[in-house]
Amino acid sequence: MPMSPGQWQKHLAGDRMAPVYLLAGEELLVLEAADAVRAMARRLGYNEREVLEADSRFDWDDLARSSAGLSLFATQRLLDLRLAGGRAGKDGSSAISEFVANPPPDTTLLITATEWSAKHEAVWTKNVDAGGIQVVFNAPRPNEWTQWVGARLTSRGVKASPDAVAMLAERVEGNLLAAAQEIDKLVVLAGDQRLDAATLEGLVADSARFDAFKLTDAAFAGEGGRALRILAGLHSEGDELIALMGWLVNQLQLALRLANARDFAAQAKVERLWPAREQLFRKALRRAPREHWLSCLARAARIDRMAKGREQGNPWLEAERLIAAIAEPRAAAAFG
């Protein structure tokens, strides 16, 4: 039988890894659970990790080779198998079943599948359930939704009254990803204040501030055209650049902290980034070295001074150049 959420949390606090894990279901919940397994592995001394992307072209013999391979440093290893579509096929079923039947010493197999239903259950899933740990993460039911939103707010350090929790739960209408995004925004917007319904209404109604989130997300995702269109829209609607630059500086400082970190994943956990945003910054940092983000931060500080009248220049034009450079580092050469 798959583990219940309560059993799963108790296992994560333990001191022994299972030989194999299958985490399947809703994408957000699966990705966060996989992060928790990786964190547990690091805590227990698993110093090596190999990622295997099991798409339609994947050679399942690679799993056997990775399982049989010796550790480079005689340490414990985590094999991170991402199962596209949630189906292993005949070869995959045999390879996974063989691993479960004869798990190599000091090696754990983590299988994640973000597409899942009862139709995905097969011989190999039953073998995993018998020889390891299987957890299926389902979205909260309608009667559980408000409780889930409240627990998520609490886990992120946001204090909210029951009426505020109910209002937010109604606004996101059962969409897990939307709920996670809105709650992460509230972490920044709410600060230490306790949210009641009126305060939450004011924060959520402030569309200009929330458009700033869309702008920075598009820029860090490398979607320069979309980011510049959002910026142009904010300008034409008469929004103040000062508030926008405050959030942009915040995100550039975050990017720089991640760039400076020896362990990106550990720093992402410190920053409390949910998986999708962790991947957003991971990909952004691959496009340019630390020095680029330091330069962008300096440019943002200069634009902020322009917007406040403390330095000459066209702050909106400079903001366009900065957004282009964040989205496409090669555009940094266009900076004056």
Residue in the block written with tokens 């072209």: 57
Residue 6 vs residue 58, higher pLDDT? 58
Q: Which of 150-154, 168-172, 266-270, 290-294 is predicted least confidently?
A: 168-172
Mean confidence (pLDDT) of the chain: 86
| 191-241 tens-digit pLDDT | 788 899 888 877 765 444 446 778 888 899 999 988 898 888 888 877 678
The structure's pTM equals 0.61
* Structure confidence at residue 335 (pLDDT): 45
Query: Which backbone phi and psi does 294 adopt, to 5 degrees?
Result: -65, -40
Residue 251 above 60 pLDDT? yes
How many angstroms separate the first and last alpha carbons of the chain?
A: 62
* Structure confidence at residue 73 (pLDDT): 56
- Side-by-side strand order, sheet with 133-137: 46-54, 76-83, 107-113, 20-25, 133-137
Region of 25 on the Ramachandran plot (φ > 0 left; ψ -120 to 50 alpha; else beta) = left
Q: Which of 18-22, 82-86, 121-125, 279-283 is predicted least confidently?
A: 82-86
When pLDDT is averaged across residues 265-284 and rounded to a whole number, the result is 84
* Structure confidence at residue 320 (pLDDT): 93
* Structure confidence at residue 106 (pLDDT): 87
H/E stretch holding 187 = helix 176-190
Q: What is the C-alpha to C-alpha distance for residues 139 and 145, in angstroms, rounded to an integer?
A: 9
**Burial label, 245 (beta-carbon count in 10 A; 0-12, 13-18, 19+):** buried
**Are the C-beta atoms of 100 and 128 separated by less than 8 Å?**
yes
Residue 74 above 70 pLDDT? no
Residue 332 above 70 pLDDT? no
* Structure confidence at residue 172 (pLDDT): 74
Residue 66 vs residue 220, higher pLDDT? 220
Confidence of residue 169 (pLDDT cuts 50, 70, 90): confident
**Are the C-beta atoms of 122 and 88 separated by less than 8 Å?**
yes
* Structure confidence at residue 308 (pLDDT): 87
